[in-house]
Amino acid sequence: MNDKTDPGIFRRKEITGLAFYVVAAGLLAADVLYGRDGAWRFVDFVRVGAILFLALVLALRSTTAFSLWRRNRTLDDELTRANRAAAARWGFWALMLALLVAFIASFAVALRISDVVPLIFFAGAAAAGLRFVTLERRAE
């Protein structure tokens, strides 16, 4: 198959194009949520863009078969995909738990969303990564 008839390549291009719209929508949502008094500085765009890009990459890699390059079949077998899905579930629940803790803590301490959101994202990503490593080591 060539590039024009291969459905996998078409799907990759479609998802990559959609990713740009997701990042743009995320930047607009972050602008509304942060509620800045003045104009955003360049570092604000970089920070929010990096967080959204990381979340997009983690979501695509851990829940779908999406890849920009062809995958090595020996390194990406059914067990690895199952481990990725299990790790994504752990990351999701860690993210929800971090949100709950931040919500409860907001009653006692004034929390700024710009300080809390990166920590919540990190909690979900770290839990997913650690779970994936644990499952992969157990499979050896």
| pLDDT, tens only, 34-85 | 655 667 678 777 877 777 777 777 666 665 556 666 767 766 778 888 888 8
pTM of the model: 0.56
For 63, the token pair is 């829940």
The amino acid sitting at 50 is A
The span from the CA of 53 to the CA of 66, in Å, is 15
DSSP secondary structure, 43-68, as one string? HHHHHHHHHHHHHHHHHHHHHS---S
**DSSP code, position 129:** H
Sign of the Cα pseudo-torsion (50, 51, 56, 58, in order): positive
The rounded distance, in Å, linking the Cα atoms of 65 and 78 is 11
User: Are the C-beta atoms of 136 and 80 separated by less than 8 Å?
Assistant: yes
What is residue 100's predicted lDDT score, i.e. its pLDDT? Answer: 92
In contact, 94 and 119? CB cutoff 8 Å: no
Residue type, 69: W
Least confident of 8-22, 45-59, 70-84, 126-140: 8-22
Pairwise CA distance, residues 12 & 66, whole Å: 7
Top pLDDT among 49 and 97 is at 97
